[in-house]
Amino acid sequence: MASILVLHGPNLNLTGTREPEIYGRTTLAEIDERLHAVARERGAVIRTTQSNHAGVLIDTLHEVRNWANGCIFNPGAFTHYSYALRDAVAAVDYPVVEVHMSLPAAREAFRHTSVIAPVCLAQVAGFGARSYDLALLGLLQSLEGRT
What pLDDT digit, counting tens, does each position of 84-107 carry?
Answer: 999 999 999 999 999 999 877 767
Q: Determine the pLDDT at residue 125.
A: 95
What pLDDT digit, counting tens, does each position of 26-66 carry?
Answer: 999 999 999 999 999 999 999 999 999 999 999 999 999 99
Q: Which domain holds residue 105?
A: 3-143
For the chain, the DSSP string reads: --EEEEEE-TTGGGTTTSSHHHH-S--HHHHHHHHHHHHHHTT-EEEEEE-S-HHHHHHHHHHTTTT-SEEEEE-GGGGGT-HHHHHHHHHSSS-EEEEESS-GGGS-GGGS--SSGGGSSEEEESSTTHHHHHHHHHHHHHHTT--
CATH number at residue 45: 3.40.50.9100
Confidence of residue 147 (pLDDT cuts 50, 70, 90): low
Q: Determine the pLDDT at residue 22.
A: 76
Q: Determine the pLDDT at residue 112.
A: 76
What total of structural domains would you count in the chain? 1
Q: Determine the pLDDT at residue 106.
A: 62
Give the other-Cβ count within 10 Å of 67's Cβ: 12
pTM of the predicted protein model: 0.93
What pLDDT digit, counting tens, does each position of 123-137 carry?
Answer: 999 999 999 999 999
Residue 145 to residue 140: CA distance in whole angstroms: 9
Confidence of residue 70 (pLDDT cuts 50, 70, 90): very high
15 with 23: CB under 8 angstroms? yes
Residue 19 has pLDDT above 90, yes or no: no
Positions marked active-site: 23, 100
Residue 92's nearest CA partner among 127, 67, 126 is: 67
Confidence of residue 146 (pLDDT cuts 50, 70, 90): low
Phi, psi of 71 (to 5 degrees): -145, 140
